[in-house]
């Protein structure tokens, strides 16, 4: 056999094996025996061994794993993999539906796609010219770990797409859930037990741990499977509904859950949820609910997303699994905002495959309402199958030795007075309280706040415990000398941190507001405030009445903001930040607005679409810049789009913009546009 004949033979064998893999792993309907499949595979291996330079990454022989990695690299998602808000009851589901209808200004039934919600690990697969080229975990939704080598070993993930009308000349990003079926999980744990290896707590942990192995040869031995549930970027293929996308994925050889159903209105969704919950124990993989998505893509685009979740989808959870255990003690935790939280210390109990030893009691009202005492026998559940909580006390099992519980009048960490605000008790120690100080710095420096890279938990603990930092503003007083004076700090690492802290001085108003850690002010609310106040100084001077005029701000949030800025400790820290040179892009050193690149709020209500690769901005940076100037980012090009910003290799969105005669800007034009 010469090379030309070998190439022809290899291509023929690969096509045959890919087809039989599809029949076996995707359709669960093989058309040849295992022995015949093995002969085909052996023939391919032998031919590739004779002509190793003909081996390609998409060959079926390349699923065995590779040499271990030192660490995972990261991959940025071109479209964020957002998390979903939860619905726990039929009333919650109906409320979700009502919000959709109000937003769309319609009384007509909405068509939804209902999908089983697998309890696995969310991943993204990337195909170029129909070939699998990369895969990553969800991570923080914006960047994930590069687990390409591991995902190559999952037999139900095709290395090469099949079928007609493939998006062969473009990029296809597929989102899915990797999991381990229950029977395979039990077999895996049985084998590990025989070898004296520690057992996995549940199928989800086993799947996540397997995908995140640095040695992909270990991943190749694990019984991983996948169901694909959607797409990120998808070029050169057009769809009208989410269900059409799922059908296309099936045609292209990707595994899609057969239990997915189109529902006409929310009542059909609720009925589907009830049916799936009844079948839960008979389904061969772990489920924790149903995902509900608006089917029409144009409606999804109109609904858009909040900071962390789309408006057009919700996770409708099943009832949590419950167990009985005893409360050994009740401890008090102090959070970043100073809130005191009672936490039950439990006799360890297995709930849904997870050992539970602690459960939140939320607040004193909950303790009193449920009449919880130290020593009680209780029913505990994992709310949404995740967070442990106590459902009820088994009062018939009381013997008289139980002890009532009340939150203390003094903070258990700093001794400051504890006050009550509504249902919550707060430590008045502010940033002098160790718990609030460490958590406050951690929040202040986090990626979505001031974004100080390299300042980890260990460093924060070290700075606080050594008295180097007494509030967040002290970060800007750090210098190389007082950092290198601490253990395990070298000149280079200290200099890198100082540079990152210096870099963080130039930020945006929403980031700064969010970084302050005001109770009830998350990322979205910080942006709402920045949209309504031109500077931090103006926000600090505002009144409760002015805040209540803003559509998205309610009484509790307004009260929290006013209380925060009236507190002398907080104002002192803000003054220190100002003196340290912290400033926002729009408002200078918290004072009157300055023209940032000349166009403050000049993009208000304008819709932008990003496509292609930008060289001087990340997608997050470009998105944040546009939103800070009043614009809005959407994922698809429509007649409502005002501008398309096109980087390198822009794809079909650029073509669509030309077709609709929408203004397109390259990166240089975009920079001039926002500077004019």
Distance separating alpha carbons of residues 175 and 168, to the nearest angstrom: 18
Main-chain phi, psi angles of 239, to 5 degrees: -140, 155
- Joined together, the tokens standing for residue 119 give 């309890």
- Which residues are CB-contacts of 207 (< 8 A; sequence separation ≥ 6)? 120, 121, 178, 179, 180, 222, 224
**3-class DSSP state of 531:** helix
- Joined together, the tokens standing for residue 646 give 């096109």
Distance separating alpha carbons of residues 530 and 509, to the nearest angstrom: 6
Residues 384, 86: contact at Cβ < 8 Å? yes
Distance separating alpha carbons of residues 445 and 458, to the nearest angstrom: 13
- H helices of 342-427, in order, are 364-370
DSSP state at residue 319: P
**3-class DSSP state of 357:** strand
- H helices of 51-200, in order, are 90-104, 148-152, 182-194
Residues 147, 72: contact at Cβ < 8 Å? yes
Distance separating alpha carbons of residues 158 and 435, to the nearest angstrom: 49
Q: Please choose, from the candidates 181, 161, 163, the residue with its C-alpha nearest in 3D space to the C-alpha of residue 171.
A: 161
- Which residues are CB-contacts of 355 (< 8 A; sequence separation ≥ 6)? 201, 348, 349
Is residue 488 classed exposed, middle or buried when 0-12, 13-18 and 19+ CB atoms within 10 A define those classes?
exposed
**C-alpha distances in Å from residue 119, one per residue of 185, 204, 208:** 13, 6, 10
CB atoms within 10 A of CB 374: 16
**C-alpha distances in Å from residue 655, one per residue of 78, 244, 300, 618:** 18, 22, 21, 22
Residue position matching structure tokens 């409760």 = 544
DSSP state at residue 260: -
- H helices of 51-108, in order, are 90-104
Distance separating alpha carbons of residues 327 and 146, to the nearest angstrom: 42
Residues 348, 356: contact at Cβ < 8 Å? yes
Distance separating alpha carbons of residues 292 and 267, to the nearest angstrom: 12
Q: Please choose, from the candidates 248, 396, 416, the residue with its C-alpha nearest in 3D space to the C-alpha of residue 340.
A: 416
Residue position matching structure tokens 């495959």 = 353
Does the active-site annotation cover 117?
A: yes
Distance separating alpha carbons of residues 75 and 81, to the nearest angstrom: 12
User: 12, 42, 73, 117: which is the annotated catalytic residue?
Assistant: 117
Distance separating alpha carbons of residues 665 and 671, to the nearest angstrom: 9
Catalytic residue ranges: 117
């Amino acid at each position: 056999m010469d090379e030309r004949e070998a190439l022809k033979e290899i291509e023929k064998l690969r096509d045959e094996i890919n087809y039989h893999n599809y029949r076996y792993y995707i359709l669960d309907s093989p058309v040849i025996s295992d022995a015949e499949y093995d002969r085909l595979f052996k023939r391919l291996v032998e031919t590739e061994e004779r002509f190793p330079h003909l081996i390609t990454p998409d060959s079926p022989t390349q699923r065995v794993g590779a040499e271990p990695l030192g660490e995972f690299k990261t991959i940025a998602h071109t479209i964020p993999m957002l998390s979903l808000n939860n619905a726990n009851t039929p009333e919650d589901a109906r409320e979700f539906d009502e919000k959709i209808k109000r937003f769309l200004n319609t009384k007509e039934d909405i068509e939804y796609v209902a999908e089983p919600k697998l309890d696995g690990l969310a991943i993204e697969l990337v195909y170029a010219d129909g070939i699998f080229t990369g895969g990553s975990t969800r991570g923080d939704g914006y960047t994930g770990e590069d687990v390409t080598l591991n995902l190559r070993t999952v037999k139900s993930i095709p290395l090469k797409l099949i079928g007609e009308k493939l998006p062969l000349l473009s990029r296809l990003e597929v989102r899915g859930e990797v999991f381990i079926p229950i029977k395979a999980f039990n077999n895996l744990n049985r084998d590990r037990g025989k070898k004296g290896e520690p057992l996995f707590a549940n199928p989800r942990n086993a799947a996540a741990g397997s995908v995140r192995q640095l040695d992909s040869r270990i991943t190749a031995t694990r019984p991983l499977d996948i169901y694909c549930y959607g797409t990120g970027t998808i070029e050169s293929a057009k769809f009208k509904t989410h269900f059409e996308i799922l059908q296309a994925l099936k045609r292209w050889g990707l595994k899609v859950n057969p239990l997915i159903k189109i529902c006409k209105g929310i009542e059909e969704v609720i009925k589907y949820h009830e049916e799936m919950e009844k079948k839960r124990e008979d389904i061969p993989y772990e489920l924790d609910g149903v995902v509900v998505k608006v089917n029409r893509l144009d409606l999804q685009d109109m609904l858009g997303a909040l900071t962390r979740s789309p408006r057009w989808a919700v996770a409708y959870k099943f009832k949590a699994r419950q167990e009985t255990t005893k409360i050994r003690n009740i401890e008090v935790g102090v959070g970043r905002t100073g809130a005191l939280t009672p936490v039950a210390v439990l006799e360890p109990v297995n709930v849904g495959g997870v050992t539970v030893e602690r459960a939140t009691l939320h607040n004193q009202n909950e303790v009193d309402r449920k009449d919880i005492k130290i020593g009680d026998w209780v029913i505990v559940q994992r709310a949404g199958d995740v967070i442990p909580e106590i459902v009820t006390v088994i009062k018939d099992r009381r013997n008289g030795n139980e002890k009532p519980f009340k939150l203390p009048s003094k903070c258990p960490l700093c001794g400051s007075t504890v006050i009550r605000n509504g249902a919550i008790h707060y430590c008045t120690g502010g940033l002098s309280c160790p718990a609030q100080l460490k958590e406050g710095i951690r929040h202040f420096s986090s990626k979505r706040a001031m974004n100080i890279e390299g300042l980890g938990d260990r460093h924060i603990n070290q700075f606080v415990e050594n008295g180097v930092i007494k509030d967040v503003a002290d970060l800007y007083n750090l210098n190389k000398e007082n950092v290198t004076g601490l253990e395990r700090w070298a000149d280079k690492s200290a200099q890198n941190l100082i540079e990152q802290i210096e870099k963080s001085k130039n930020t945006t108003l929403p980031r700064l507001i969010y970084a302050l850690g005001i109770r009830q002010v998350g990322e979205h609310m910080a942006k709402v405030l920045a949209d309504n106040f031109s500077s931090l100084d103006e926000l600090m001077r505002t009144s409760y009445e002015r805040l209540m005029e803003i559509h998205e701000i309610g009484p509790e949030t307004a009260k929290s903001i006013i209380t925060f800025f009236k507190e002398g400790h907080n104002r002192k820290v803000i003054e220190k930040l100002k003196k340290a040179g912290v400033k926002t892009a729009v408002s200078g050193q918290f004072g009157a607005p300055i023209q940032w690149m000349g166009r403050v709020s000049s993009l208000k209500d304008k819709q932008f679409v990003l496509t292609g690769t930008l060289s001087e901005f990340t997608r997050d940076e470009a998105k944040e810049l546009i939103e800070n100037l009043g614009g809005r980012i959407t994922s698809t090009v429509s007649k409502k789009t005002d501008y398309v910003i096109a980087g390198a290799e822009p794809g079909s969105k650029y073509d669509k913009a030309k077709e609709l005669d929408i203004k397109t800007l390259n990166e240089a034009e975009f920079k001039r546009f926002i500077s004019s």
